Amino acid sequence: MSPATRPRKEAQPVLTNLLAGLLGGLIVLALGAILIAVGAIDTGDTNVVRGSAIERPAASDGSDGRTVSEIYRKEGRGVVFVEARGGRDQPSIFGLPREQGAATGSGFVVDRDGTIITNAHVVEGSSKVTVRFDEKDDPVDAQVKGRDPSSDLAVLKIDPKDAKGIDPLRLGNSKETRVGDPVVAIGNPFGFARSVTTGIVSAQQRQITAPNGFPIRNVIQTDASINPGNSGGPLLDADGKVIGINAQIATGGGRGSVGIAFAVPVDTAKSLLPQLRRGGKVERSYLGVEMAPVTKQVAEDLNLPVEDGALLQNVEKGGPAGEAGLRGGRTQTGEGVAAGGDVLVEVDGERIETPDDVAAAIADDRPGDEVEVVYYRGDEKRTATVKLSERPNRIDSSQAPGGGEGPIPLP
């Protein structure tokens, strides 16, 4: 082989390697562009998570919604840090003592006149309440206009002239939320001012126990990280509208978030807001009974004539239902249900399938109103007229649903 032909034979593999390298580089560049576009690679331009379910969640109207950053920048301005001091011998709340006579939490502005919503347990027993819009701002004095321990809601009022700017949050509709909807929580966990976390609606129609021992119904469950200090802060949808007021967490024995948190539905807040901001007392009708749900299995085990309804477990002596002749259970079963009580199937014209239906049936009635109750005693169907009384301020937490255990109000 002559020297003149040797370079040509060596050029073929060099050219092949060059083409292979170029092709591989193009593939890597293409894959990199795709990964950057979907947010799997952080280019260093932002510290916001780029996953589409978080950064650009679907709004309730089916549109793309707003980014978490957009919601934080806009709605975050209306979230305040609440500090409540004073209140001698303030009781501990579900085993969580108040530290040095003070409590801290969150709240949010709902009107340019300085109206703020927070949790009732944040300001319980307080003699002085202040709010701050930013950790660098001076505290602004706030007046507690109204508290409703039964819903764990309170309304504060500040002079808008004392704040640098009032930016009210929009109130949404909690009934329109669906399991899986993205949510954003803004608050002051452990004193870290105006922190934001994200998650989804984990469940609906949950029930938690209010600080005064009564049940709060239709509660929203979320996996957004909520911790002590988030109390009273807003739970927002993808449009930045408030759908709930963060109130309690399940702790698993500790004090931090384990991914199970609860928010009082904003629909409840909207219904009580006019009365609370006027300083009026929220009056609720009271039947004076403890109930257990009737299921197909319970009906079979106890030989009940119906497969749904509210089985009376205890009837308060001298209470409205007791005065009308209704009876509670007498014999405790292995399933934890007391047998022998009356089964409510209709209250005030509303069909009763669960104990929640009883509460809903008298929700629009006032103390002193009379309601007709249809029930079974054994196999006999009966009717009684019950004169409702006013709900007491508090019941013993050991008599509350769940025996006082379960989720705890955030301090």
Task: Kindly indicate the confidence band of residue 64, based on its pLDDT and cuts at 50, 70 and 90.
Answer: low
**Does the annotation count 389 as an active-site position?**
no
207 burial (CB, 10 Å; 0-12 / 13-18 / 19+) is middle
Domain count, the chain: 2
In a domain, 146, yes or no: yes
Regarding whether 150 and 250 lie in a shared domain, the answer is yes
In a domain, 306, yes or no: yes
Of the residues 254, 282, 310, which one is the last residue of a structural domain? 282
Regarding whether 296 and 237 lie in a shared domain, the answer is no
Q: Which residue among 195, 202, 231, 397 is the active-site one?
A: 231
Regarding whether 215 and 82 lie in a shared domain, the answer is yes
Comparing CA positions, the residue from 190, 146, 391, 130 lying closest to residue 284 is 391
Q: Which two tokens stand for residue 367?
A: 């103390």
User: How many whole angstroms separate alpha carbon 44 and alpha carbon 39?
Assistant: 11
Please report the pLDDT score of residue 227 as a whole number. Answer: 87
Task: Kindly indicate the confidence band of residue 397, based on its pLDDT and cuts at 50, 70 and 90.
Answer: very low
Regarding whether 295 and 272 lie in a shared domain, the answer is no
Q: Where are the beta strands (DSSP E) in 149-302?
A: 153-157, 182-187, 195-209, 215-222, 234-236, 242-249, 261-265, 285-286, 289-293
In this model, does residue 79 exceed pLDDT 50?
yes
CB 288 within 8 A of CB 392: no
In this model, does residue 95 exceed pLDDT 50?
no
Task: Kindly indicate the confidence band of residue 36, based on its pLDDT and cuts at 50, 70 and 90.
Answer: very low
CATH number at residue 137: 2.40.10.120
In this model, does residue 333 exceed pLDDT 50?
yes
Q: Which residues contact 400 (CB under 8 A, 6 or more apart)?
A: 209, 213, 214, 215
In a domain, 152, yes or no: yes
Segment 190-220, tens digit of pLDDT: 878 889 999 999 999 898 999 888 889 899 9
**Does the annotation count 152 as an active-site position?**
yes
Of the residues 282, 301, 335, which one is the last residue of a structural domain? 282
CB 243 within 8 A of CB 186: no
- The pTM for the full model equals 0.71
In this model, does residue 77 exceed pLDDT 80?
yes
In a domain, 14, yes or no: no
Regarding whether 247 and 170 lie in a shared domain, the answer is yes
In a domain, 219, yes or no: yes
Regarding whether 137 and 106 lie in a shared domain, the answer is yes
Segment 114-171, tens digit of pLDDT: 999 999 999 998 989 999 998 788 899 999 999 999 999 999 999 999 988 789 999 9
- Ranking 93-97, 184-188, 279-283, 309-313 by mean pLDDT, the lowest is 93-97
Residue 66's domain comprises 49-282
Please report the pLDDT score of residue 255 as a whole number. Answer: 59
Q: Which residue among 148, 152, 342, 348 is the active-site one?
A: 152
Of the residues 250, 267, 282, which one is the last residue of a structural domain? 282
In this model, does residue 349 exceed pLDDT 90?
yes
CATH number at residue 302: 2.30.42.10
Regarding whether 266 and 293 lie in a shared domain, the answer is no
Mean pLDDT of 387-406: 61
> 20 vs 15, 16, 120, 281, CA distance in Å?
9, 6, 69, 79
Regarding whether 193 and 337 lie in a shared domain, the answer is no
Regarding whether 104 and 89 lie in a shared domain, the answer is yes
In a domain, 41, yes or no: no
3-state secondary structure of 381: strand
In a domain, 155, yes or no: yes
> 394 vs 320, 390, 391, CA distance in Å?
17, 12, 8
Please report the pLDDT score of residue 100 as a whole number. Answer: 54
Please report the pLDDT score of residue 93 as a whole number. Answer: 36
Regarding whether 338 and 271 lie in a shared domain, the answer is no
Comparing CA positions, the residue from 204, 159, 211, 163 lying closest to residue 180 is 204
Average pLDDT, the chain: 80
CB 241 within 8 A of CB 61: no
User: How many whole angstroms separate alpha carbon 339 and alpha carbon 342?
Assistant: 9
In a domain, 83, yes or no: yes
In this model, does residue 52 exceed pLDDT 50?
no
Please report the pLDDT score of residue 211 as a whole number. Answer: 87
**Does the annotation count 61 as an active-site position?**
no
Regarding whether 217 and 135 lie in a shared domain, the answer is yes
Mean pLDDT of 229-244: 96
Please report the pLDDT score of residue 171 as a whole number. Answer: 97
Regarding whether 268 and 168 lie in a shared domain, the answer is yes
Comparing CA positions, the residue from 319, 321, 312 lying closest to residue 340 is 312
Report the percentage of the chain scoring pLDDT > 70: 75
Q: Which residue among 106, 121, 150, 285 is the active-site one?
A: 121
Mean pLDDT of 218-247: 95
In this model, does residue 408 exceed pLDDT 50?
no
